[in-house]
A = this chain, B = another copy of it.
Amino acid sequence: MYHEITPEGFGIAIEKDKDLFSGKSEFQTVDVFHSRAFGNVLTLDGLMMVTERDEFFYHEMISHIPMLTHKNPENILIVGGGDGGTVRELLKHKCVKHIDMVEIDGMVIDASKKFFPTVAGELDNPKVSVLVQDAIDFIKGKENLYDIALIDSTDPIGPGEGLFNTEFYGNLKRAMKKGGIVVPQTEGPFAQSENMRKTYALLRKVFKYVAPYTGPMPTYPGGYWSWGFCSDDVEPPFNNSCVDSARADEIAKTCKIYNKELHSAVFAVPNFVKELANG
Protein backbone atom coordinates (compact mmCIF):
# COMPACT_ATOMS: atom_id res chain seq x y z
CA MET A 1 0.00 0.00 0.00
CA TYR A 2 1.28 3.47 -0.88
CA HIS A 3 0.51 6.22 1.66
CA GLU A 4 0.96 9.97 1.64
CA ILE A 5 0.24 11.13 5.16
CA THR A 6 0.34 14.83 6.08
CA PRO A 7 2.12 16.02 9.23
CA GLU A 8 -1.37 16.29 10.80
CA GLY A 9 -1.84 12.54 10.37
CA PHE A 10 -4.11 11.84 7.43
CA GLY A 11 -3.86 11.27 3.73
CA ILE A 12 -4.42 8.89 0.88
CA ALA A 13 -3.77 5.19 0.49
CA ILE A 14 -3.38 3.42 -2.84
CA GLU A 15 -2.98 -0.30 -3.37
CA LYS A 16 0.27 -0.77 -5.24
CA ASP A 17 0.46 -3.56 -7.82
CA LYS A 18 4.03 -3.25 -8.92
CA ASP A 19 7.06 -0.96 -8.58
CA LEU A 20 8.14 0.21 -12.02
CA PHE A 21 11.01 2.61 -11.34
CA SER A 22 13.00 4.12 -8.52
CA GLY A 23 15.85 6.57 -8.98
CA LYS A 24 17.70 9.24 -7.04
CA SER A 25 18.31 12.41 -9.02
CA GLU A 26 20.44 15.33 -7.88
CA PHE A 27 17.28 16.83 -6.35
CA GLN A 28 14.94 14.13 -5.14
CA THR A 29 13.87 10.50 -5.18
CA VAL A 30 11.71 9.65 -8.18
CA ASP A 31 9.43 6.59 -7.95
CA VAL A 32 6.90 5.14 -10.33
CA PHE A 33 4.47 2.34 -9.47
CA HIS A 34 1.39 0.79 -11.01
CA SER A 35 -1.97 0.68 -9.21
CA ARG A 36 -5.31 -0.79 -10.21
CA ALA A 37 -7.08 2.40 -9.10
CA PHE A 38 -4.96 5.05 -10.83
CA GLY A 39 -2.80 3.26 -13.39
CA ASN A 40 0.78 4.50 -13.21
CA VAL A 41 1.65 6.82 -10.33
CA LEU A 42 4.69 9.12 -10.00
CA THR A 43 5.93 10.29 -6.59
CA LEU A 44 8.78 12.65 -5.68
CA ASP A 45 10.40 12.08 -2.29
CA GLY A 46 7.38 9.88 -1.59
CA LEU A 47 4.88 12.69 -2.24
CA MET A 48 2.14 12.24 -4.84
CA MET A 49 2.80 14.09 -8.10
CA VAL A 50 0.80 12.53 -10.91
CA THR A 51 -1.43 9.54 -11.65
CA GLU A 52 -2.71 8.49 -15.04
CA ARG A 53 -6.32 8.46 -13.90
CA ASP A 54 -6.76 11.78 -12.12
CA GLU A 55 -4.09 14.09 -13.59
CA PHE A 56 -6.68 15.80 -15.78
CA PHE A 57 -8.18 17.63 -12.78
CA TYR A 58 -4.95 19.49 -12.08
CA HIS A 59 -3.72 20.02 -15.63
CA GLU A 60 -7.00 21.33 -17.02
CA MET A 61 -7.42 23.73 -14.12
CA ILE A 62 -3.93 25.23 -14.14
CA SER A 63 -4.02 25.70 -17.93
CA HIS A 64 -7.44 26.61 -19.28
CA ILE A 65 -8.52 29.18 -16.70
CA PRO A 66 -5.69 31.64 -17.50
CA MET A 67 -5.50 30.67 -21.19
CA LEU A 68 -9.16 31.46 -21.79
CA THR A 69 -9.04 34.64 -19.73
CA HIS A 70 -6.16 36.05 -21.80
CA LYS A 71 -7.25 37.54 -25.13
CA ASN A 72 -4.46 36.00 -27.23
CA PRO A 73 -1.88 33.94 -25.33
CA GLU A 74 1.00 33.15 -27.67
CA ASN A 75 4.10 32.72 -25.53
CA ILE A 76 3.95 30.65 -22.39
CA LEU A 77 6.32 29.80 -19.57
CA ILE A 78 5.91 26.70 -17.41
CA VAL A 79 8.00 26.47 -14.27
CA GLY A 80 8.23 22.81 -13.29
CA GLY A 81 5.61 20.69 -15.01
CA GLY A 82 8.10 17.96 -15.96
CA ASP A 83 5.37 15.33 -16.33
CA GLY A 84 4.17 17.15 -19.46
CA GLY A 85 0.47 17.35 -18.63
CA THR A 86 0.40 21.14 -18.62
CA VAL A 87 2.15 21.29 -22.00
CA ARG A 88 -0.45 18.88 -23.41
CA GLU A 89 -3.33 21.08 -22.24
CA LEU A 90 -1.71 24.33 -23.45
CA LEU A 91 -1.14 22.95 -26.94
CA LYS A 92 -4.91 22.48 -27.35
CA HIS A 93 -4.99 26.27 -27.82
CA LYS A 94 -4.29 27.10 -31.47
CA CYS A 95 -3.03 30.59 -30.58
CA VAL A 96 0.05 29.20 -28.77
CA LYS A 97 3.27 29.94 -30.65
CA HIS A 98 5.86 28.79 -28.13
CA ILE A 99 6.17 27.20 -24.69
CA ASP A 100 9.30 27.32 -22.52
CA MET A 101 9.10 24.55 -19.93
CA VAL A 102 11.79 24.99 -17.27
CA GLU A 103 12.03 21.83 -15.18
CA ILE A 104 14.89 21.43 -12.72
CA ASP A 105 14.93 17.63 -12.75
CA GLY A 106 15.57 15.74 -16.00
CA MET A 107 14.77 12.45 -14.30
CA VAL A 108 11.14 13.54 -13.88
CA ILE A 109 10.90 14.23 -17.61
CA ASP A 110 12.52 10.91 -18.54
CA ALA A 111 10.30 8.91 -16.15
CA SER A 112 7.20 10.66 -17.49
CA LYS A 113 8.09 9.99 -21.12
CA LYS A 114 8.62 6.32 -20.34
CA PHE A 115 5.72 5.63 -17.94
CA PHE A 116 3.12 8.32 -18.72
CA PRO A 117 2.81 8.48 -22.51
CA THR A 118 -0.70 10.02 -22.35
CA VAL A 119 0.65 12.81 -20.12
CA ALA A 120 4.12 13.47 -21.56
CA GLY A 121 3.20 12.80 -25.20
CA GLU A 122 3.55 16.41 -26.36
CA LEU A 123 6.93 17.20 -24.79
CA ASP A 124 8.66 16.71 -28.15
CA ASN A 125 6.25 19.04 -29.97
CA PRO A 126 8.24 21.59 -32.00
CA LYS A 127 6.44 24.46 -30.25
CA VAL A 128 7.97 23.37 -26.92
CA SER A 129 11.45 24.07 -25.52
CA VAL A 130 12.16 21.72 -22.64
CA LEU A 131 14.86 23.42 -20.53
CA VAL A 132 16.36 21.31 -17.75
CA GLN A 133 17.54 24.00 -15.37
CA ASP A 134 16.66 25.94 -12.26
CA ALA A 135 13.86 28.38 -13.04
CA ILE A 136 15.24 30.80 -10.44
CA ASP A 137 18.32 31.34 -12.63
CA PHE A 138 16.45 31.06 -15.92
CA ILE A 139 14.07 33.89 -15.13
CA LYS A 140 16.70 36.44 -13.99
CA GLY A 141 17.05 39.30 -16.47
CA LYS A 142 14.24 38.13 -18.76
CA GLU A 143 11.94 40.93 -19.91
CA ASN A 144 8.64 41.25 -21.72
CA LEU A 145 8.52 37.68 -23.05
CA TYR A 146 5.47 35.78 -21.81
CA ASP A 147 1.70 36.15 -21.96
CA ILE A 148 1.07 33.37 -19.45
CA ALA A 149 3.33 31.83 -16.78
CA LEU A 150 2.25 28.71 -14.88
CA ILE A 151 4.08 27.66 -11.73
CA ASP A 152 3.49 23.92 -11.86
CA SER A 153 5.85 23.15 -8.99
CA THR A 154 6.16 20.92 -5.99
CA ASP A 155 5.29 22.08 -2.47
CA PRO A 156 7.29 24.92 -0.84
CA ILE A 157 9.66 22.34 0.63
CA GLY A 158 12.43 20.55 -1.28
CA PRO A 159 13.35 21.72 -4.82
CA GLY A 160 10.27 23.96 -5.07
CA GLU A 161 11.19 26.05 -2.01
CA GLY A 162 13.07 28.86 -3.80
CA LEU A 163 10.04 29.59 -5.98
CA PHE A 164 8.00 30.80 -3.03
CA ASN A 165 9.58 34.24 -2.45
CA THR A 166 9.29 37.83 -3.66
CA GLU A 167 12.63 37.80 -5.51
CA PHE A 168 11.52 35.00 -7.82
CA TYR A 169 8.11 36.58 -8.37
CA GLY A 170 9.64 40.01 -8.95
CA ASN A 171 11.87 38.55 -11.68
CA LEU A 172 8.92 36.64 -13.11
CA LYS A 173 6.85 39.83 -13.33
CA ARG A 174 9.54 41.52 -15.43
CA ALA A 175 9.50 38.52 -17.77
CA MET A 176 5.78 39.00 -18.43
CA LYS A 177 4.30 41.03 -21.28
CA LYS A 178 1.63 43.66 -20.67
CA GLY A 179 -1.65 41.88 -20.04
CA GLY A 180 0.22 38.86 -18.72
CA ILE A 181 -1.30 36.37 -16.30
CA VAL A 182 0.66 34.27 -13.78
CA VAL A 183 -0.92 31.19 -12.17
CA PRO A 184 0.96 29.24 -9.49
CA GLN A 185 -0.42 26.12 -7.85
CA THR A 186 -1.16 27.35 -4.33
CA GLU A 187 -1.54 24.15 -2.27
CA GLY A 188 -4.49 22.43 -0.63
CA PRO A 189 -6.86 24.79 1.21
CA PHE A 190 -7.99 22.16 3.69
CA ALA A 191 -4.88 20.01 4.20
CA GLN A 192 -2.19 22.68 3.81
CA SER A 193 -3.90 25.81 4.94
CA GLU A 194 -0.77 27.44 6.40
CA ASN A 195 1.20 26.89 3.17
CA MET A 196 -1.69 28.44 1.31
CA ARG A 197 -1.93 31.43 3.63
CA LYS A 198 1.81 32.18 3.28
CA THR A 199 1.69 31.76 -0.50
CA TYR A 200 -1.13 34.30 -0.87
CA ALA A 201 0.55 36.76 1.51
CA LEU A 202 3.51 36.61 -0.90
CA LEU A 203 1.43 36.88 -4.07
CA ARG A 204 -0.48 39.91 -2.75
CA LYS A 205 2.84 41.71 -2.23
CA VAL A 206 3.77 41.24 -5.88
CA PHE A 207 0.59 41.51 -8.00
CA LYS A 208 -2.27 43.98 -8.21
CA TYR A 209 -4.92 41.31 -8.78
CA VAL A 210 -4.70 38.02 -6.86
CA ALA A 211 -7.64 35.61 -6.72
CA PRO A 212 -7.76 31.97 -5.69
CA TYR A 213 -9.67 29.38 -7.65
CA THR A 214 -10.23 25.83 -6.48
CA GLY A 215 -11.24 22.36 -7.61
CA PRO A 216 -11.18 18.70 -6.68
CA MET A 217 -7.92 16.75 -6.97
CA PRO A 218 -8.53 13.24 -5.62
CA THR A 219 -4.93 12.15 -5.01
CA TYR A 220 -3.64 15.38 -3.43
CA PRO A 221 -3.93 16.01 0.31
CA GLY A 222 -7.53 16.69 1.32
CA GLY A 223 -8.74 15.99 -2.24
CA TYR A 224 -9.12 19.72 -2.77
CA TRP A 225 -6.66 22.02 -4.51
CA SER A 226 -6.10 25.71 -5.29
CA TRP A 227 -4.45 27.89 -7.91
CA GLY A 228 -3.85 31.64 -7.83
CA PHE A 229 -4.86 33.97 -10.65
CA CYS A 230 -2.30 36.81 -10.57
CA SER A 231 -1.92 39.82 -12.83
CA ASP A 232 -1.16 43.52 -12.79
CA ASP A 233 -3.39 44.32 -15.79
CA VAL A 234 -6.05 41.64 -16.10
CA GLU A 235 -8.88 41.34 -13.62
CA PRO A 236 -9.84 37.84 -12.47
CA PRO A 237 -12.73 36.47 -14.56
CA PHE A 238 -15.39 36.68 -11.86
CA ASN A 239 -17.88 37.37 -14.62
CA ASN A 240 -18.03 35.02 -17.60
CA SER A 241 -18.47 37.94 -19.95
CA CYS A 242 -14.69 38.24 -20.29
CA VAL A 243 -14.32 34.75 -21.78
CA ASP A 244 -14.24 34.22 -25.54
CA SER A 245 -17.20 31.90 -25.85
CA ALA A 246 -16.23 30.22 -29.12
CA ARG A 247 -12.66 29.51 -27.96
CA ALA A 248 -13.94 28.21 -24.61
CA ASP A 249 -16.44 25.84 -26.24
CA GLU A 250 -13.77 24.52 -28.59
CA ILE A 251 -11.46 23.70 -25.65
CA ALA A 252 -14.31 22.27 -23.53
CA LYS A 253 -14.95 19.61 -26.19
CA THR A 254 -11.51 18.14 -25.44
CA CYS A 255 -11.84 18.28 -21.64
CA LYS A 256 -13.13 16.10 -18.81
CA ILE A 257 -13.63 19.13 -16.58
CA TYR A 258 -13.36 22.49 -18.28
CA ASN A 259 -16.47 24.20 -19.58
CA LYS A 260 -17.58 27.81 -19.89
CA GLU A 261 -19.87 27.74 -16.84
CA LEU A 262 -16.97 26.50 -14.70
CA HIS A 263 -14.68 29.29 -15.88
CA SER A 264 -16.02 31.86 -13.44
CA ALA A 265 -17.61 29.41 -11.01
CA VAL A 266 -14.21 28.11 -9.85
CA PHE A 267 -13.53 31.60 -8.44
CA ALA A 268 -16.55 31.32 -6.11
CA VAL A 269 -14.67 29.82 -3.18
CA PRO A 270 -15.70 28.81 0.35
CA ASN A 271 -15.51 31.44 3.09
CA PHE A 272 -12.54 29.73 4.74
CA VAL A 273 -10.61 29.80 1.44
CA LYS A 274 -11.33 33.54 0.99
CA GLU A 275 -10.01 34.11 4.48
CA LEU A 276 -6.80 32.15 3.75
CA ALA A 277 -6.20 34.03 0.50
CA ASN A 278 -7.16 37.53 1.63
CA GLY A 279 -5.25 37.46 4.92
* Chain A residues engaging chain B, CB cutoff 8 angstroms: 3, 5-6, 8-15, 35-38, 54, 190-191, 214, 216-219, 222-224, 252, 255-259, 261-262, 264-272, 274
The smallest beta-carbon distance between A263 and chain B, in angstroms, is: 8
Chain B residues in 8 Å Cβ range of A257 = 270-272
Of all chain B residues, which has the CB nearest A10? B37
Chain B residues in 8 Å Cβ range of A268 = 259, 261-262, 264-266
Q: How many copies does the complex hold?
A: 2
Select A36's contact among B8, B214, B217, B272, beta carbons within 8 Å: B8
List the 9 closest pairs (A to B, CB-CB), nearest first.
A223-B223, A265-B268, A9-B15, A216-B224, A265-B265, A261-B268, A10-B37, A257-B270, A13-B13
Chain B residues in 8 Å Cβ range of A222 = 216, 218, 223
Chain B residues in 8 Å Cβ range of A11 = 12-13
How far is A264 from B238 in the complex, measured between Cα atoms in Å?
13
How far is A160 from B230 in the complex, measured between Cα atoms in Å?
45
How far is A223 from B272 in the complex, measured between Cα atoms in Å?
17
- Whether B10 pairs with A3 at a CB distance below 8 angstroms is no
The smallest beta-carbon distance between A252 and chain B, in angstroms, is: 7
Of all chain B residues, which has the CB nearest A223? B223
- Whether A3 pairs with B9 at a CB distance below 8 angstroms is no
